Amino acid sequence: MNSAITLAAQARGYAKAARELEDRKESERARELYLKAAKLYNDASMLSKDDMDKNTQRDLAEHLFARAQALKGSNAVSSGGTLEGNRSSGNNDESSITKDDVFLKEIPDIGFPDIGGLEDVKEEIRKAIIYPFTHKELYQMYGQKAGEGILLYGPPGCGKTMMAKAAAKECGAEFISVKTSTIVSKWVGASEKNIKQIFDIARQGKRSIIFFDEIDSIATRRSESEDYAKRVVNELLAQMDGVDTASDDLLVLAATNEPWAIDPALRRPGRFSKLVFVPEPDLEARKAILHIHLKKRPIDDDLDISYLSEITDSYSGADLAAICKEAADIPLGEALRGGNPRKIKMQDFETVLQKRKPSIVSWYIEAKTAVQKTGEEEVFSELVQK
């Protein structure tokens, strides 16, 4: 079995060859190699044990796939056709989605026990996502329709994607992570086709969860959207109306920092009918996050993680990760300037916290204003009450 390192090395070779072919104007051959490189990086990300490598390989896979799509699009236009003309003639295939080269399928290796705190959120997700899979017979007995979409919303950097992955592991489902940037296309009708194909491929699996990250970028209010965006929302509505876990073994998850921007029709029963607020980490969650980011760093005996967790109230998970990095930078910088290497002390964290304030305070202010503007204070009461 190939290792992540081997697959990444093969991917680099294909990508280099593809760039050389592209420079020689051999676009079709270059496109084929870009797709092979993207698939190899995608496969490498699934095998990698290092989170940083995993994320880097995924980003490279997406970038190379986008490069391949751009080459096919340029070929179609340069051959004398127009975007609408190619579509109507049946030649527009530039964004066809396949299991291998567009989105990422995996069974995540992180579960709820790996996420500290936020027990209320976990229980909401269990009821909304996990039990429909694990207790399907009970749902059928009581005539409860499973399979309606779940929308996770809240401030940025607070673990919405991590919660979604953990839910997939808890119910043993394939996690299909769809970056909205892979859906949107300049071709007329291609974005709608992409959405349909995502659902079609997900239904082929034994048990799947489709996860749309940053869904507000493709599902904005139709009253404020251009025609192409309205068609995307309409296709999402059509596909979600056809989801029934009783036959599909399929659930739909989405995450957003701007739930008020999403078309209200997508938040009605049968679509994203369950809204789950994922707030900033509570005390236990902050403690767990700090332990994760400090376990491989040398820390002094005077560093009290429990106290540090208490004084970082209102900080997001992303904030806490940045604080740990910046605190480690202080003794690292001293050592690089010729000082003796030392462990990270509580004073280093206090120095960082004097300058770094919670990043999500401004988000709550903007969220409250936006919700009041839409008149949906009751729907998003957690945001208005802050």
CATH number at residue 67: 1.20.58
Task: Mark whether 212 and 298 lie in a shared domain.
Answer: no
CATH code at position 139:
3.40.50.300
For residue 379, being part of any structural domain is answered with no
For residue 186, being part of any structural domain is answered with yes
For residue 127, which phi and psi values (nearest 5 degrees)? -70, -35
Task: Mark whether 250 and 143 lie in a shared domain.
Answer: yes
Cα atoms in the 13 Å half-sphere on the side-chain side of 303:
21
CATH code at position 295:
1.10.8.60
Cβ count within 10 A of residue 311: 12
Task: Mark whether 246 and 164 lie in a shared domain.
Answer: yes
* Domain around 227: 104-273
Task: Mark whether 65 and 138 lie in a shared domain.
Answer: no
Give the per-residue pLDDT at 365.
92
Cα(88)–Cα(281) distance, integer angstroms: 50
Tell which of 273, 305, 323 closes a domain. Answer: 273
Task: Mark whether 22 and 69 lie in a shared domain.
Answer: yes
Give the per-residue pLDDT at 52.
61
For residue 368, being part of any structural domain is answered with no
Task: Mark whether 231 and 298 lie in a shared domain.
Answer: no
Distances, alpha carbon 221 to alpha carbons 83, 192, 216, 224, in Å: 25, 16, 9, 6
Give the per-residue pLDDT at 101.
42
For residue 256, which phi and psi values (nearest 5 degrees)? -160, 150
For residue 206, being part of any structural domain is answered with yes
Task: Mark whether 269 and 293 lie in a shared domain.
Answer: no
pLDDT tens string, the chain, 386 residues long: the values are 467 788 888 888 888 888 888 878 888 888 888 888 888 888 888 887 776 667 677 767 877 787 787 776 555 433 333 333 333 334 344 445 454 444 566 667 788 887 877 888 888 888 877 887 788 788 778 877 665 688 999 999 888 888 888 888 888 778 888 877 667 766 667 788 888 888 888 887 777 888 898 898 888 887 776 676 778 888 888 888 765 544 557 888 899 999 999 988 888 877 887 889 999 998 988 998 999 899 889 999 999 999 999 999 999 999 999 999 999 999 999 999 999 999 999 999 999 999 999 999 999 999 999 999 989 888 888 887 76
How many folded domains does the chain comprise? 3
For residue 155, being part of any structural domain is answered with yes
Task: Mark whether 42 and 66 lie in a shared domain.
Answer: yes
Task: Mark whether 120 and 245 lie in a shared domain.
Answer: yes
Task: Mark whether 62 and 157 lie in a shared domain.
Answer: no
Task: Mark whether 109 and 169 lie in a shared domain.
Answer: yes
Cα(359)–Cα(357) distance, integer angstroms: 6
For residue 238, being part of any structural domain is answered with yes
Predicted model pTM:
0.69
For residue 13, being part of any structural domain is answered with yes
For residue 385, being part of any structural domain is answered with no
Task: Mark whether 123 and 68 lie in a shared domain.
Answer: no
**Bridge partners of residue 254, in order along the sequence:** 151, 212
Contacts of 60 (CB under 8 A, 6+ apart): 11, 15, 38, 41
Name the residue with tokens 């070779």: 13
